[in-house]
């Protein structure tokens, strides 16, 4: 008997599932209903079409309805909205958005891939023709046409997540003056604040104005200008506004059908992607998943998980027994010439879940130091103190960031211990890496901490260090580095002079040591520890400290200037 399969929604999850079902069942009758005009498109590439990196509209479309039918004999109906599910009769009601006609379609198995919708808050003036959201191909073309015709000189982006940052870059590359407003104290909330500081510095260096810890109260469009009123009374004027506040699961259809919902109204599914209603499955941005690290319910709206879920749902629809064991939120983003990546959890999530964790920072060149063109990347890795379990990583840098985050993401998925990163046998040639790859180095650092060979303190501990003479503070950089900027109260003894000048340090006091990246200060700590001193190393060094403190000062200055205006 021919199995009738209906799929609601295309893009990543639905389109992947449809193709997989056909590969498993040549005789199934597969119908996909997609509300937009495109069944499978490069959602993550939309900002790059606006900026002109992707030139042709057709390059955004991965597969057309005609292509789906020609290759897979799958019937795809775009501009068709499923507006009701009747689980009792196993049928869906569909509306043709071109002519308004409505009809019912019966199914044996139903897959929901409705995705998520942009959050559009009920703010006064938000319906202006100069205020846009970016989620679909149609949204992209609309923004592109507006820029071509109106040639705006300024833009305000509300929200500093993936879409907001990518849109900021692409608009700035067009010569548009860009500002980002975000109610959080940082952009990119998957990062910790200390790592986001590097992103803030990059954005500011490219002329992007950051308005952080501020929320939008109202919009007013006057002629070609949108005036955005922020809390505190500050007003920002721009010729266009893009809303990138975030997304919420588009689950009204599922809710009306009596399907159980989870966190933030997402569709509750089991590890086979099955919903609470028999023969109905769900995948993608609309479903609740288990976080791979914490085991807690989570919403993770990324293309990679959606594709995997589509395949797993298809397997189970076709009688196989595939399981989805959770998402860990691996991500990477281009920020102008910088690359930013993360996997697993950050400090905030670890603390919320009551995990007793430690962290290491590492600044390392992306390849061998003697090979020309090396650029520094900063790695931050979190691990559980008692178990040495890898919890997450964040990397900010340039070439090679994506490679390292994928290695660490794989190690997390494989259940490796944090210190076992030192054992990974990674490819090496001078143009690509070092004989001791940054990931290996992180493993060495973690092993040293676990074994008590190194004690460390962090940038956020510096302000609380006593100035009463009860401790020694030592900067082991060169005199020139020290002169170009240092932390008040730290005396300078370059590491190569330390053995000869060790008598200048009180052996009876703890010694807090720092250098530029924490490497020379580690060597200094080994010298001091070997001679009976109690020594602590500044994690991440002055490079991390100055970046974070500089970011805080820049934010305070921006806030002060905003009040003055």
Is there a contact between 358 and 449 (Cβ–Cβ < 8 Å)?
A: yes
Length of the chain counted residue by residue: 565
Percent of the chain scored above 90 by pLDDT? 84
Is there a contact between 339 and 401 (Cβ–Cβ < 8 Å)?
A: yes
Phi, psi (5° rounding) for residue 147?
A: -65, -40
Q: pLDDT digit string (tens) for 473-490?
A: 999 999 999 999 999 999
Phi, psi (5° rounding) for residue 268?
A: -80, 125
Tokens of 399: 């070439």
CA 404 centroid distance within chain: 15
Q: Which of 44, 318, 525, 561 is catalytic?
A: 44
Is there a contact between 170 and 47 (Cβ–Cβ < 8 Å)?
A: yes
Residue 31 has pLDDT above 90, yes or no: yes
Looking at residues 191-202, what average pLDDT do you find? 97
Provide the pLDDT for residue 561.
62
Virtual torsion, Cα 149, 152, 158, 164, nearest 10 deg: 70
Closest CA to 378 of 390, 364, 366, 358: 364
Residue 504 has pLDDT above 70, yes or no: yes
Q: pLDDT digit string (tens) for 347-360?
A: 999 999 999 999 99
Provide the pLDDT for residue 262.
95
Provide the pLDDT for residue 562.
58
515 tagged catalytic: no
Tokens of 129: 């023709």
Q: pLDDT digit string (tens) for 360-398?
A: 999 998 888 888 888 999 999 999 999 999 999 999 999
Predicted confidence band of residue 135 (pLDDT cuts 50, 70, 90): confident
210 DSSP 8-state letter? E
Helices (H), 270-394: 303-317, 347-352
Residue 565 has pLDDT above 80, yes or no: no
Q: pLDDT digit string (tens) for 301-339?
A: 888 999 999 999 999 999 999 999 999 999 999 999 999
What is the chain's mean pLDDT, rounded?
94
């Amino acid at each position: 008997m021919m199995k009738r399969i209906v799929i609601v929604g295309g893009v990543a999850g639905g389109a992947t599932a449809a193709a997989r079902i056909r590969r498993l069942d040549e005789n199934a009758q597969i119908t996909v209903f997609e509300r937009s005009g495109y069944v499978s498109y490069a959602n993550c590439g939309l900002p790059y079409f606006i900026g002109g990196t992707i030139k042709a509209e057709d390059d955004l479309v991965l597969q057309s309805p005609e292509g789906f039918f020609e290759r897979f004999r799958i019937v795809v109906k775009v501009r068709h909205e499923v507006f009701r599910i009747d689980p009792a009769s196993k049928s869906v009601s569909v509306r043709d958005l071109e002519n308004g006609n409505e009809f019912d379609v019966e199914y044996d198995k139903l897959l929901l891939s409705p995705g998520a919708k942009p959050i559009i808050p009920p703010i006064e003036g938000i319906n202006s023709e100069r205020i846009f959201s970016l989620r679909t191909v149609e949204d992209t073309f609309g923004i592109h046409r507006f820029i071509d015709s109106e040639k705006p000189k300024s833009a305000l982006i509300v929200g500093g997540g993936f879409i907001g940052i990518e849109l900021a870059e692409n608009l700035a590359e067009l010569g548009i003056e860009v500002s980002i407003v975000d109610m959080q104290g940082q952009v990119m909330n998957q990062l910790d604040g200390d790592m986001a500081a590097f992103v803030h510095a990059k954005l500011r260096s490219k002329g992007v104005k950051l308005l952080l810890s501020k929320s939008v109260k109202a919009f007013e469009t006057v002629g070609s200008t949108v005036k955005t009123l922020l809390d505190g009374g500050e007003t920002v004027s721009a010729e266009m506004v893009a809303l990138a506040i975030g997304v919420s699961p588009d689950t009204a259809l599922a809710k009306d059908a009596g399907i159980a919902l989870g966190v933030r109204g997402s569709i509750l599914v089991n590890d086979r992607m099955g919903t609470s209603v028999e023969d109905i499955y769900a995948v993608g941005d609309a479903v609740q998943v288990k976080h791979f690290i914490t085991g807690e319910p989570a919403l993770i709206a990324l293309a990679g998980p959606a594709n995997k879920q589509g395949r797993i749902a298809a397997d189970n629809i076709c009688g196989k027994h595939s399981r989805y064991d959770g998402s860990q939120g691996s991500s990477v983003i281009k920020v102008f010439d910088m690359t930013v990546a993360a996997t697993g959890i950050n400090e905030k999530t670890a603390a919320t879940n009551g995990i007793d964790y430690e962290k290491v920072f590492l600044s390392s060149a992306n390849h061998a130091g003697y090979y020309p063109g090396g650029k520094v990347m900063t790695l931050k890795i979190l691990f559980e103190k008692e178990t040495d379990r890898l919890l997450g990583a964040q990397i900010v840098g340039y070439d090679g960031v994506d490679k390292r985050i994928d290695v660490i993401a794989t190690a997390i998925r494989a259940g490796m211990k944090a210190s076992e990163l030192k054992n990974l046998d990674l490819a090496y040639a001078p143009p690509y890496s070092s004989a001791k790859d940054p990931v290996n180095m992180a493993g060495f650092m973690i092993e040293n901490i676990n074994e008590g060979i190194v004690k460390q303190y962090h940038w956020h501990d510096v302000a609380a260090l006593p100035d009463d003479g009860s401790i020694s503070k030592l900067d082991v950089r060169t005199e020139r580095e020290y002169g170009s900027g240092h932390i008040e109260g730290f005396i300078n003894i370059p590491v190569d002079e330390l053995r000869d000048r060790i008598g200048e340090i009180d052996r009876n006091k703890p010694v807090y040591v720092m250098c530029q990246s924490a490497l020379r200060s580690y060597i200094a700590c080994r010298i001091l520890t070997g001679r009976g001193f109690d020594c602590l190393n500044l994690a991440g060094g002055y490079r991390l400290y100055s970046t974070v403190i500089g970011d805080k000062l820049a934010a305070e200055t921006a806030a002060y200037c905003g009040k003055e205006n």
